[in-house]
Structure 1
Amino acid sequence: MDKKKEFLDYLLERFQIERKKFDRSGIYGYTQRLLAYNSNKIEGSTLTEEQTASLFDTGILPGTDDYYRAKDVEEMNGHFLMFNKMLETLEEDLTQDLIKQFHYEFKSGVFEDRANGYAIGDYKKRPNMIGTYQTARPEDVKNEIISLLHWYCKQEVNLSVLAEFHAKYECIHPFQDGNGRTGRLIIFRECLKNGLVPIIIEDSNRYQYLEALKQYREEKIVKNLVKLFEEEQQVYYDKAIYFM
């Protein structure tokens, strides 16, 4: 059997077994911590890898002389729940409803977002931007996501298709907040579903990642994003193979 095919079969099996057993010591726990830490860190989370691990493993944050930002803790816990929802729904097709479910799991416990009146588990109600770039207006989001999913379901999924999907999703920016983190979880999920080594964008590559998305917005080119995806695939594989 191809080594990477064997690796993917192992991942799918162990994710489900370890999650059901509440086993946080293996590949499931490692991946939960790695993805949650990096994806939140890209968006400005102040939690460290050690703090993320402690929160996931014990539900307790280590003592510190600094303050913890409540939103960072709530979003980290939400990310753990979103990952579990992803595992529960791996057999389902990617749909609007499923994407909204991911967002709900991620954001439903975030007090600041609720206090600000953000839609939770639903598309944005107010226009938002990526820096100076205008994203889809709220009234256009549903049709743009439908169009994106219609395009995606007709593709033979590979890294180039996933890169284009991700770039288009981020351009739409369907939610008030949490677009990058739901988008990166979807990429991880679709890799698992389509026989590809999963991708975790590490915070150390944040600049290359954001520049690659910018290149797509301005030039409709995904070459640099595909290259980053390939590199991050290999990094995750090299780290996770330890558990086999």
Structure 2
Amino acid sequence: MTGSQPDEYAIDASLFRQTLLSQRASRQKGGLYHLNQILMAYNTNRIEGSQLDEEQTRYIYETRTIFTDEDTPAVRVDDVMETVNSFELFDAVLDGLDEPITAQTMKNYHQTLKRGTADANRPSFAVRDWKRHANVVGNQRTVPPEKVELAVAEMLDVTPQRMSFTDIADFHYRFESIHPFQDGNGRVGRALMFQQCLQNNIMPFIVLDGRKAFYYRGLREYEEKPGFLLDTFRQLQDDYYARFADFVETL
């Protein structure tokens, strides 16, 4: 199925895109762009095991500093680096809205996410390149390293120029099934999904850490029961709209 989803919200999805772009250009504080940066960085990294809480994430974004107290666990340097990098990745997504998503886009996003981390200093890790060692998602094997380039090319070949909500969910499932990078696949994949929503006038959404069990279940059972993942994403769209509709510039 291709084409945009029917209008289900009082505010058109294109206005979220316009607001994000205008506030990104002006670096407006306290608005949609500002809040999206914090929510996206916190949740997408928390899903992958970051120990930073949302308040610490907000503090990093707003002050470029980190705070802890005697009741807070020590902060891992890579958690801080990947949080800062996630802010840059969100900007890269907005900057790329008028460009098609390619294999190079994916590699560039991976480099942005992993810049300055311990992984970036490991030759075997291959930042900004496909994985060199086999990996798994849960207990499921992914595409072996030597077949990643072909698998990504095939995925892009069958991706329609105009994507529906279902197309975006399917692309995300296929990307995560390939798991093309040694690490960072979920975060790159969710960034791509946010970009695809904005590119296709579809209400965007952020996968929340509190919904990760449903998200992982949806990915795990997608081939047999795609409705689990689709319903989870629909609920996340509703959450995103309810949270941010008041921040959209409608005039």
TM superposition score normalised by structure 2: 0.90
* Matched residue type, 1:93: P
Whether 1:194 aligns to 2:168 is no
Q: In the alignment, what sits opposite 2:4? A: none
- Size of the aligned set, in residue pairs, is 240
User: For 1:199 and 1:9, how far apart are their aligned partners in 2?
Assistant: 13
User: For 2:59 and 2:133, how far apart are their aligned partners in 1?
Assistant: 36
Instruction: Output the aligned Cα RMSD.
Output: 1.7
Q: In the alignment, what sits opposite 2:97? A: 90
Task: Give the CA deviation at 1:242.
Answer: 2.2
Q: In the alignment, what sits opposite 2:47? A: 42
Q: In the alignment, what sits opposite 2:211? A: 205
* Matched residue type, 2:140: Y
* Matched residue type, 1:223: G
Whether 1:26 aligns to 2:21 is no
User: For 1:27 and 1:19, how far apart are their aligned partners in 2?
Assistant: 9
Q: Deviations over 1:16-46 (max 9, x none)?
A: 2222222232100101111111111111111
Whether 1:222 aligns to 2:239 is no
Q: In the alignment, what sits opposite 1:129? A: 136
Q: In the alignment, what sits opposite 2:153? A: 146
Q: In the alignment, what sits opposite 2:240? A: 236
Q: Deviations over 1:112-155 (max 9, x none)?
A: 4423631111111111111221111111000000000111136x
TM superposition score normalised by structure 1: 0.92
Structure 2: gaps of 5 or more residues: 1-6
User: For 2:205 and 2:80, how far apart are their aligned partners in 1?
Assistant: 23
**Contact 1:78/1:108 (8 A) holds in 2:** yes
User: For 1:111 and 1:207, how far apart are their aligned partners in 2?
Assistant: 28
**Contact 1:7/1:241 (8 A) holds in 2:** no
* Matched residue type, 2:100: D
* Matched residue type, 1:9: S
User: For 1:3 and 1:141, how far apart are their aligned partners in 2?
Assistant: 37
Whether 1:111 aligns to 2:118 is yes
Task: Give the CA deviation at 1:6.
Answer: 4.2
* Matched residue type, 1:77: V
**Bigger share in helix:** 1
- The one of 51, 56, 59 aligned to 2:61: 56
User: For 2:14 and 2:138, how far apart are their aligned partners in 1?
Assistant: 40
